[in-house]
Amino acid sequence: MDPNLIRDIMSNKFGHFALIKGNQFLRFFLSGVVLYEGEKWAKHRRILNPAFHMEKLKRMVSAFYTSSNEMVSKWEKLVTSNGSCELDVWPEFQNLTGDVISRAAFGSSYEEGKRIFKLQDEQAEHFIQSFLTAYIPGFSLLPTKRNRRMKEIYREVRTLLMGIINKRQKVMEVAEAANNNDLLGLLLESNNNEIQENKNKKNVGMTIDEVIEECKLFYFAGQETTSVLLVWTMVTLSMHSEWQVRAREEVIQVFGKNKPDFDGLNHLKIVTMIMYEVLRLYPPLLFFDRCTYKNMKLGELSLPAGTQLMIPTVLVHRDRELWGEDAEEFNPGRFAEGISKATKNQVSFFPFSWGPRICIGQQFATIEVKMALAMILQRFSFELSPSYAHAPTTVITLHPQYGAQIILHKL
């Protein structure tokens, strides 16, 4: 939990603190750049970076708006004649972020992608059960019903994504690269450029299987972490109405009742402060872990090869020594002058990881969340329902165990 040691671990570029090799079935659930090391990680990161450049993300704001508008329009229809309704917003946000990633990443409708989401939800359940039994020697190799289903899902998801990718490649053969306004098109374009620039070298670019794995990662990370951030923001703003009022006043000042745009979203200071504070108290991943691959010196510690290290995000984010006596309290004002000032330039805030391996989709997620929040705040005020039970629980990321029942009031 020492920020200096965390900095040393997470800023290391040479792989001295490697990812821990998890359950072998993890590859049936999630792969891509997040699990790669060394030269392979560097190559994939280099190819992916152009797709997540701010100017490229700017093109995707219309997708964020379309999906958010569909959701809030649906909510408006649910509001009764007295101007309010109760709604569990957790599945609503899961559907929203699924829709966004389908539009922004693949240029397709949610209907085309929902089969993949359904499969990945089932796959996540199987993976969790497989992970829990991974310490029984040889168990994960047995041809159990669960293990056979994991392999079936892997093959089906791969087939579905192969169809989307092949369709896109055919379009790219007859269309200009400038028409690539979604993540898949930008990824394929960047991959082709990498291959052309290094055609005399070996192992350049991504194979079709590697592109598929990155697409699976788009689907999971794009939906999961963003829906988690949205739901905890909605819950905390319901608990702290004064900050909800301040956020709404800022949104109305910037946009009025008009459609939120990219530049305006980047000028939402109070909304950004709130988002950071939610990420501090409810980080999507509760910890990061690493492993030494050789004898290492870390601060005053001498660590032999194979030592596992845990960085407990949720504990560091709530440490009174680092954040003050109000560390357990919701206080977005601590971020009024930015992250560096709030953390005193220490590595004590890392909801999207930190250093070279910081989440490549961080800006994608934050812009998407700001769009959804701005549109909700324009049309509704909200409070917790008496039926809401505050029970954060880990299901890969930090979920509301019993949902997030909110009472919406139409403005």
Model confidence at 65, pLDDT cuts 50, 70, 90, reads: very high
Main-chain dihedrals φ then ψ at residue 346, nearest 5 degrees: -100, 160
- In this model, does residue 70 exceed pLDDT 70? yes
Give yes or no for a contact between 90 and 231, defined as CB atoms under 8 angstroms apart.
yes
Residue range 210-225, pLDDT digits in tens = 998 888 888 888 888 9
Residue range 251-270, pLDDT digits in tens = 999 999 999 999 999 999 99
How many other C-beta atoms are found inside a 10 Å radius of the C-beta of residue 211? 21
- In this model, does residue 109 exceed pLDDT 60? no
- In this model, does residue 351 exceed pLDDT 90? yes
Model confidence at 158, pLDDT cuts 50, 70, 90, reads: confident
HSE (side-chain half, CA atoms, 13 Å) at 411: 15
- In this model, does residue 28 exceed pLDDT 80? no
**Helix pair angle (61-78, 362-379), 10° resolution:** 30
Residue range 177-213, pLDDT digits in tens = 446 678 888 898 899 889 888 888 888 899 988 998 8
Backbone angle region of 342, left / alpha / beta, with phi > 0 → left and psi within -120 to 50 → alpha: alpha
Main-chain dihedrals φ then ψ at residue 6, nearest 5 degrees: -60, -45
* Residue 99: per-residue pLDDT: 87
Cα separation, 19 vs 36, in Å, equals 8
Model confidence at 322, pLDDT cuts 50, 70, 90, reads: very high
Q: Which residues contact 71 (CB under 8 A, 6 or more apart)?
A: 92, 95, 96, 99, 372
Domains in the chain: ranges and CATH: 3-410 (1.10.630.10)
What mean pLDDT do residues 35-45 have?
89
* Residue 13: per-residue pLDDT: 65
| Coil, strand or helix at 302 | strand
How far from each other are the two terminal CA atoms of the chain, in whole angstroms?
44
What's the whole-model pTM score? 0.90
- In this model, does residue 390 exceed pLDDT 60? yes
* Average pLDDT value over all residues in the chain: 87
Cα separation, 410 vs 382, in Å, equals 9
Give yes or no for a contact between 353 and 41, defined as CB atoms under 8 angstroms apart.
no
* Residue 139: per-residue pLDDT: 44
- In this model, does residue 353 exceed pLDDT 90? yes
Angle of CA points 130, 132, 136, to nearest 5°: 85
